[in-house]
Structure 1
């Protein structure tokens, strides 16, 4: 597994630009550990500081490319993990992508147009479907979550976004300025790809 320093640098591959607080929210490390990791990473040129935010550098990515095979060797060797990843890509991930498109657009006279979210029944049905897919994803990704608890943390954050959407905060489905379902799902997908050494499907 990743040590706190490696995890801090890794988290910047999931969120391209973020503060220490943002990274701590994602990876669950104490803020002081994230701040110490970022300070070290800046000195080692793995991370670049920019007005209170940070971004990974090419040197940081090369560092992680050397870390991942060691850190995740045992996980990558498990057949249950490979099967779970296949099920994720061909099943729940495709369903979430389709539901996100359905959330952002609506069919009118045979054409897809932007969803203005005036039809609450339409929106609520999509939120309900996302909830069912979310529950299924806990089961699909169980082998990965058992080996890497951060996967469960991502799923819990997606659940929190769904709860807020159910309460009327609809930005929490696909908004880019909040930890929406879409935003956190993207981060989780990137994380599990790096765990398993796979490429993001086109």
Structure 2
């Protein structure tokens, strides 16, 4: 697995401009540990500091490209994990993408128009479907979660976003300024691709 320094740099591939506190939310590392890692990474040229936030540099990406094969050798060699990823890509990931589209738009008279969220029943049905896909995703990704505890952290964060959406905070479905279902799902997908060495599907 990645060491704490590598994990800090890696977290900036999942949340591309972030503070130490925001990265701690992603990885679960102590903020002080992340701050130390970011300070070292900035000195190494692996990250760029920007007004209290950080972003990864080309040197940081090169560092990770070298680290991943050794850190994730067993994961990448596992047929069970390869099968789980295939099930994820062809099943639950497509379902979440489709439901996100359904959340953002709706069909009216045969045309897709922006969803004004004036139909509470329509929105509630989508949130319910997302919750069922989230439950299924936990089962699909079980082999990956067993190999890397960060996978369960992503699933827990998605569950937290769903709870807030069910409680009426609908920005937590696909909002970009909060840790919404869509935002955290994107981060999780990127993490899974880096774990397994796969490319993001077109």
Task: Using structure 2 for the length normalisation, give the TM-score.
Answer: 1.00
Q: Kindly state the Cα deviation for residue 180 of structure 1 after the two structures are TM-superposed.
A: 0.1
Correspondence 1:14-29 to 2 at 5 A: 14-29=14-29
**Is 2:31 the counterpart of 1:31?**
yes
Correspondence 1:26-175 to 2 at 5 A: 26-175=26-175
Give the superposed CA RMSD: 0.3
Equivalent pairs counted in the alignment come to: 202
Q: Which runs of at least 4 in structure 1 moved beyond 6 Å after TM superposition?
A: none
Q: Kindly state the Cα deviation for residue 67 of structure 1 after the two structures are TM-superposed.
A: 0.2
Cα distance in 2 for residues equivalent to 1:53 and 1:43: 15
Q: Kindly state the Cα deviation for residue 148 of structure 1 after the two structures are TM-superposed.
A: 0.2
Cα distance in 1 for residues equivalent to 2:108 and 2:126: 17
Return 5+ residue gaps in structure 1 as ranges: none
Q: Kindly state the Cα deviation for residue 123 of structure 1 after the two structures are TM-superposed.
A: 0.3
Q: Kindly state the Cα deviation for residue 38 of structure 1 after the two structures are TM-superposed.
A: 0.2
Cα distance in 1 for residues equivalent to 2:148 and 2:68: 13
Q: Kindly state the Cα deviation for residue 72 of structure 1 after the two structures are TM-superposed.
A: 0.1
Cα distance in 2 for residues equivalent to 1:129 and 1:101: 13
Cα distance in 1 for residues equivalent to 2:140 and 2:126: 20
Cα distance in 1 for residues equivalent to 2:149 and 2:199: 21
Cα distance in 2 for residues equivalent to 1:185 and 1:132: 14
Q: Kindly state the Cα deviation for residue 18 of structure 1 after the two structures are TM-superposed.
A: 0.2
Cα distance in 2 for residues equivalent to 1:169 and 1:130: 15
Task: For residue 107 of structure 1, give the secondary structure of its aligned residue in structure 2.
Answer: strand
